[in-house]
Amino acid sequence: MTLRIIAGGANPALALKVADALGTGLVGAGIVRFPDGEIHVELAESVRGGDVYLLQPTTPPIAEHLHELLFLADAARRAGARRVTAVVPYFAYARQDRRATGREAVGGRVVADLLAAAHVDRVVAVDLHETALEGFFPCPLEHLTSVPALADTLGVLAPDGEVVVAPDAGATKLAERYGRCLKLPVAFVHKRRVSGESVTTHGIAGDVRGRRALIVDDMISTAGTVAGAVGVLLEAGAAPDIVVAATHGLFVGPAVERLAPLPIARLVVTDTVGRELPSPLPGHVVSVAPLLATAIGCLHEERSLDRLILHA
Ligand code: R5P
């Protein structure tokens, strides 16, 4: 089977880096919008018999990018691809993994079902909001982690970090992983989400007084979580040059205005989303291209991914 990589429209720069790292080109794909808003997808060359990897994070506009991914999968399958893998570095709807109240949709499950309906054989994702999401997929899910790469970068950019901070209960395991990589203690912020855009914080567990804090999370969306954690840290007497690291930098809605006035010495994210970092914050982007390229190489050659995978 020939290795074929196809980029959706969400993050072509990342797809190109991955293809370069693997020493292969991208299969051309025409993705156009019809006047009524329909998406039309057509592959520019044959993928018959190929081992096809569709690289498409489902970043905003989420519905558009998700549709592109589904249609690319269908196009590849109908064009005779032998195996189709959806590489979704940022997987939207991962936060909708259960019903918190009685009448909500479980969006993560719906998206997993849609990918299965498009006959995707395998999904590759990076630092999902919740590892249990794997159970939603009827096909194998390879859950990669960028934590070692981000932790290495933090070790260089903030070697004087003294405590890793989980900004909410959901980030506890993630913070412990960073803590193990950086050999630092971990503190936990008590956060409650009020709406998609606002959160409240209720104190912190762990010793942060006088210490330089490294806040870690899976994603920064509206930055309400980070802003809340910074506020709690300052109240608790942490050193006022905080470092923030997150895998997925979405920076939507009021994120930029929320982050700008905070005493953040460094903001570190990966390029899963591919958005510009909100200036004027001092930022740093760690590419997940090497991680994805290694994973795709292993899958293509049917070698173990053990070193790259997030173990619960
Ligand atoms: C929530 O549990 C996630 O791990 C993130 O903390 C959250 O989604 C970030 O969203 P925002 O930046 O809008 O607070």
Question: Is 171's C-beta closer than 6 angstroms to any atom of ligand 1?
Answer: yes
What is the predicted pLDDT for the residue at 226? 95
Best mutation site among 93, 195, 199, 225 for ligand 1 pocket (most ligand atoms within 8 Å of CB): 225
CB-based contact 108:97 (threshold 8 Å): yes
The tokens of 128 are what? Answer: 């999902």
CB-based contact 237:213 (threshold 8 Å): no
What is the predicted pLDDT for the residue at 201? 78
Give the Cα separation of 55 and 124 in Å (integer): 9
What is the predicted pLDDT for the residue at 170? 87
pTM of the model: 0.94
Q: 209 — phi, psi (to 5°)?
A: -55, 125
Question: Is 223's C-beta closer than 6 angstroms to any atom of ligand 1?
Answer: yes
The stretches of 96-205 forming alpha helices (DSSP H) are 107-117, 147-157, 172-182
pLDDT bin (cut points 50, 70, 90) of residue 309 is confident
Tell me the residue length of the chain.
312
DSSP H helix total and E strand total for the chain: 8, 15
Question: Is 258's C-beta closer than 6 angstroms to any atom of ligand 1?
Answer: no
* Cα of 75 from ligand 1 centre, angstroms: 34
pLDDT bin (cut points 50, 70, 90) of residue 312 is low
Mean pLDDT score of the chain? 94
Give the Cα separation of 176 and 194 in Å (integer): 25
Question: Is 220's C-beta closer than 6 angstroms to any atom of ligand 1?
Answer: yes
Question: Is 225's C-beta closer than 6 angstroms to any atom of ligand 1?
Answer: yes
pLDDT bin (cut points 50, 70, 90) of residue 169 is confident
* Cα of 114 from ligand 1 centre, angstroms: 24
Mapping DSSP to helix (H, G, I), strand (E, B) and coil, where does residue 244 land? strand
Best mutation site among 96, 178, 198, 220 for ligand 1 pocket (most ligand atoms within 8 Å of CB): 220
Q: What is the pLDDT of residues 223-253, one digit of tens each?
A: 999 999 999 999 999 999 999 999 999 999 9
Q: What is the pLDDT of residues 15-56, one digit of tens each?
A: 999 999 999 999 999 999 999 999 999 999 999 999 999 999
Question: Is 170's C-beta closer than 6 angstroms to any atom of ligand 1?
Answer: yes
pLDDT bin (cut points 50, 70, 90) of residue 280 is confident
* Cα of 165 from ligand 1 centre, angstroms: 14
Burial of 26 (0-12, 13-18, 19+ CB in 10 A): middle
Question: Is 146's C-beta closer than 6 angstroms to any atom of ligand 1?
Answer: no
Other Cβ atoms within 10 Å of 9 Cβ, number:
18
Ligand 1 atom with the shortest distance to the CA of 255: 12
Ligand 1 atom with the shortest distance to the CA of 228: 14
Task: Report which protein residue has its CA nearest ligand 1's atom 4.
Answer: 218
Active site residues: 191
What is the predicted pLDDT for the residue at 293? 98
pLDDT bin (cut points 50, 70, 90) of residue 263 is very high
